[in-house]
A = this chain, B = another copy of it.
Amino acid sequence: MFRYELIKKDKYTGARLGRIITDHGEIETPIFMPVGTQATVKSMNNRELEDIGAQIILGNTYHLYLRPGEDIMAKAGGLHRFMHWDKPILTDSGGFQVFSLGPMRKITEEGVHFVSHLDGSRHFMTPEKSIHMQNVIGADIIMCFDECAPADADYAYTKKSTAMTTRWAARCQAAHKRPDAQALFGIVQGGMFDDLRAKSAADLVAMDFPGYAIGGLSVGESHDKMYHMLDVTTPLLPENKPRYLMGVGSVDALIEGVIRGIDMFDCVLQTRIARNGTAMTSEGKKVIRNAVYQADFSPLDPACDCYVCRNHTRAYLRHLIKCKEILGARLLTYHNLYFTLKLMEKIREAIRNDAVLELRDSVFCQYGIEKIGVYENAGKSIG
């Protein structure tokens, strides 16, 4: 089962309040999805994910294909059972990871030859094999195998690549064995070219996927450019289906993305910077390993009511991070994810009250973000 319900649109922007219904429960949108690359959201356990209000998490097909591999995943009965997570899961197709391998992969029309980053073993990934692996993993939402062209790719390359991604999308759709249990999303590509984005969107919309992702953004271009590509793309996507902006999760981009009609986000930012000792707070980023926090016995974020902010001080967190203690990574990860999920909750509440622009202003002001790509005509240009 998969259904998207549009509950309410913001009066002044493209922001949408909605709901996705899956076999493993409902997801309120707009939503942020913590990334659980290798069948675990790094450093978190399932109980904590529920505590912080995670409604859906990601798995990475590339990583799960290599470890534990198809055989174990099949024997386990899929990823939900393997990691004992009963709420919704989304898997990417492995496309982005494979293309990130750079010289360790070779792209052909049939698929991608690549070398494992773990042991140097050779693999060949095709749209059909990606969908097969995703059928075995059994996530509620799965993704087409696409080529994510680099931000600086030229027009000719991007045009060819985008056309191939569309042909691969058709092969993914044909290969998908469990369309009733798993919703297969198409991925709009087209690089930084308006007309290629439009062509990609039109072709995929014609194929009638239950949801659409926008891929190939936040790959090195400016935020201005990214917001422009969203302005160009989301209006071309059907209103009655969810829209997922892949790999994007900074505070400004979450809000600007929502304003441009995005319903779903994922990003490793929250968990990665946590492990390096950086916290996302209502006062902006705090590099907690800095000496300035050595004897600072105030909470990480005085405006936050999470377990970490209620129980621990900046001085203690700094100590743990300096000592490379696992608990340091745990506590900052917990807080960063909580902070982000809470922000999404505030965004949903703001849409309910037609107050998304006010929320943006107050968050940006507190957080110290310049209004990059301020969306003055939001209410007009996005339906």
| Contact among B40, B322, B325 for A42, CB-based, below 8 A | B325
Q: Known contacts A68-B294, A294-B68, A323-B67; is A316 also within 8 Å of B39 by CB? A: yes
Q: Shortest distance in angstroms between A272's beta carbon and chain B's nearest beta carbon?
A: 13
Hey, which chain B residues are within 8 Å of A76, CB to CB?
Answer: 297, 313, 315-316
* Chain A: interface residue total (CB-CB under 8 A): 37
- CB–CB A72/B327 < 8 A: no
Is the beta-carbon distance between A294 and B40 smaller than 8 angstroms?
no
Interface residues of A in 292-327 (CB under 8 A from B): 294-295, 297, 307, 311-313, 315-316, 319-320, 322-323, 325-327
Given the complex, which residues of B lie within 8 Å of A330, measured CB to CB? Answer: 43, 45, 326, 330
**A380 close to chain B: CB less than 8 A:** no
Is there a chain B Cβ closer than 8 Å to A27's Cβ?
no
Evaluate contact between B319 and A68: CB separation under 8 angstroms: yes
Q: Is the CB of B44 within 8 A of A327?
A: yes
Q: Are B323 and A326 in contact (CB under 8 A)?
A: no
Instruction: Report the bound CA distance from A43 to B323 in whole Å.
Output: 12
Chain A 53-92, CB-CB to B under 8 Å as 1, else 0, gives 0000000000000011001100110000011100000000
Q: Determine if A329 is an interface residue (Cβ-Cβ < 8 Å).
A: yes
Whether B319 and A46, one on each chain, are in contact in the complex, defined by CB atoms closer than 8 angstroms, is no
Main secondary structure of the interface of A (DSSP, over half): helix
Q: In the complex, what distance in Å separates the CA atom of A42 from the CA atom of B329? A: 12
Bound-state Cα–Cα, A71 to B294, Å: 10
Which of A44, A297, A329, A331 gathers the greatest number of chain B CB atoms within 10 Å? A297
In the complex, the chain B residue whose C-beta lies closest to that of A328 is B40
Q: Are B295 and A331 in contact (CB under 8 A)?
A: no
Please state if A46 and B315 are interface contacts (CB–CB under 8 Å): no
Q: Determine which residue in A44, A71, A330 has the highest number of CB atoms from chain B within 10 A of its CB, and name it.
A: A330
Q: Which one of B43, B72, B311 contacts A295 once the chains associate, using CB atoms below 8 Å?
A: B72
- Measured CB to CB, the closest approach of chain B to A309, in angstroms, equals 12
Query: A327 CA to B42 CA in the complex, in Å?
Result: 7
**Mask of A258-276 contacts with B, CB within 8 angstroms, 1/0:** 0000000000000000000
Contact A315 B68 (CB under 8 A): yes
**CB pair A84 B315 closer than 8 Å:** no
Give chain B residues whose Cβ lies under 8 Å from the Cβ of A295: 71-72, 75
Q: Complex Cα distance A320/B82, Å?
A: 11
A38 CB–B CB distance under 8 Å: yes
Q: Cβ of A72 and Cβ of B315 under 8 Å apart?
A: yes
Asked whether A325 lies within 8 Å of B83 as measured between CB atoms, the reply is no
| A322 CA / B63 CA spacing, docked (Å) | 13
CA distance A316 to B316 in the complex (A): 32
Restricting to A313-357, which residues have a CB under 8 Å from any CB of B?
A: 313, 315-316, 319-320, 322-323, 325-327, 329-331
Q: Which residue from B44, B297, B327 sits with its C-beta under 8 Å from A40?
A: B327
Question: A68–B72 Cα gap in the complex (Å)?
Answer: 44
- Least CB separation from A44: chain B residue: B327
The residue of chain B having its C-beta at the shortest distance from the C-beta of A295 within the complex is B75
Given A40-B327, A42-B326, A330-B330; 12 other pairs, CB 8 A cutoff = A38-B323, A43-B330, A44-B327, A45-B331, A46-B311, A47-B307, A67-B323, A68-B315, A71-B295, A76-B313, A84-B316, A326-B326
Interfacial residues, chain A to chain B (CB-CB below 8 A) = 38-40, 42-47, 67-68, 71-72, 75-76, 82-84, 294-295, 297, 307, 311-313, 315-316, 319-320, 322-323, 325-327, 329-331
